[in-house]
Amino acid sequence: MRRSILLLLALCLALPLCACGPKQPAASSVPPASQPVEPTPDTPADTTPEPTPEPTPTPEPLYQFGTPVAESGPLADDSYFEDAAFVGDSRTDGLRLYGGLHAGDYLCKTSMSVFHADDSGYTVEVGGKKLTLMAALRAKQYNKVYIMLGLNELGYAASAYEKQLRVFLDDVIAAQPNAVIYLELMPPVNESMTKQSWHTNANVDAFNEINARVAAEKHIALLDVAEVYRGGDGQLKEEYASGDGVHFKADAYPYWADYLRTHIIDRDWYFASREGAQ
């Protein structure tokens, strides 16, 4: 009997334990180990390349008025001179006759000078009409005007020549506002042949200094045609000189024409330089 009571008591004690099952461990107060956090990528930079800035073009240096035009390259075709006027005295007439440059108009007269440009006693012929030099320049527009004067002025005082040259060039610029105007330096003379006391290279040099100065002042192109004819001693080369020491032999004029063909200033550059100089 006693053993039955003990078995019954043991059975009662075992039942609660089976119902409760295994005890769960208490939640830990220590936080679980942190999981590695993936870094948040930065906002991607704009990968579009910046446009390469266009380089600022370096402006072409302006032509320095009063300095000779540099050699421009191969011979220009003579058609380039069809809209040109060649202004001068008997030496320019020699260019017309013997230079081989037959394009353009030759507005020249023996003994022409800056003092006679509006003198009715010194006329040039254009289109069958005889006109003063300035009247001829006012009657027709050219794209180029080549001026070679000074030989017949050598007997004048240099100051008188300079004063009148300014007046003459102002008139030419007014008559030919759209033309590239060239003032040509005078070739030397051969003093061993000259007949006139004022035909000296000292006078030629002094007048050429005036030509360069006034060309700079008036903003017109300068051509050093003289370099073609100048010998090492500064004289007109004897093989080029005619009997009077100031004009050229016929076969020497083509050198002048070739110089003009190879010393050309770009028209746009000329007028941009004039605008910049003013």
**CATH code where residue 152 lies:** 3.40.50.1110
Query: Are 220 and 173 within 8 A, CB to CB?
Result: yes
Q: Specify if 109 maps to a domain.
A: yes
Q: How confident is the model at residue 5 (pLDDT cuts 50, 70, 90)?
A: very low
Q: Specify if 204 maps to a domain.
A: yes
Q: How confident is the model at residue 88 (pLDDT cuts 50, 70, 90)?
A: very high
In this prediction, residue 278 carries a pLDDT of 82
Compute how many other C-beta atoms are within 10 angstroms of the C-beta atom of residue 213. Answer: 13
Q: Specify if 68 maps to a domain.
A: no
Q: Specify if 39 maps to a domain.
A: no
* Non-local CB neighbours of 176 within 8 Å, separated by 6+ positions: 85, 137, 141, 142, 145
Q: For 196-241, write each residue's pLDDT tens digit.
A: 999 999 999 999 999 999 999 999 999 999 999 999 999 999 999 9
Q: Specify if 149 maps to a domain.
A: yes
In this prediction, residue 19 carries a pLDDT of 46
The answer on pLDDT for 17 being more than 50 is no
Q: What percent of the chain has pLDDT over 70?
A: 80
Q: For residues 49 and 35, what is the distance between their CA atoms, to the nearest angstrom?
A: 39
Domain range for residue 160? Answer: 78-277
Q: Specify if 23 maps to a domain.
A: no
Q: Specify if 170 maps to a domain.
A: yes
How many independent structural domains does the chain possess? Answer: 1
The answer on pLDDT for 30 being more than 90 is no
- The mean per-residue pLDDT over the stretch 151-163 comes to 96
- The mean per-residue pLDDT over the stretch 17-32 comes to 44
- The mean per-residue pLDDT over the stretch 109-138 comes to 95
Q: Specify if 72 maps to a domain.
A: no
DSSP collapsed to 3 states, the chain: CHHHHHHHHHHHHHHHHHHHCCCCCCCCCCCCCCCCCCCCCCCCCCCCCCCCCCCCCCCCCCCCCCCECCCCCCCCCHHHHCCEEEEECHHHHHHHHHCCCCCCEEEECCCCCCCCCCCCCCEEEECCEEEEHHHHHHHCCCCEEEEECCHHHCCCCHHHHHHHHHHHHHHHHHHCCCCEEEEECCCCCCCCCCCCCCCCHHHHHHHHHHHHHHHHHHCCEEECCHHHHECCCCCECCCCECCCCCCECHHHHHHHHHHHHHCCCCHHHHHHHHHHHC
In this prediction, residue 12 carries a pLDDT of 42
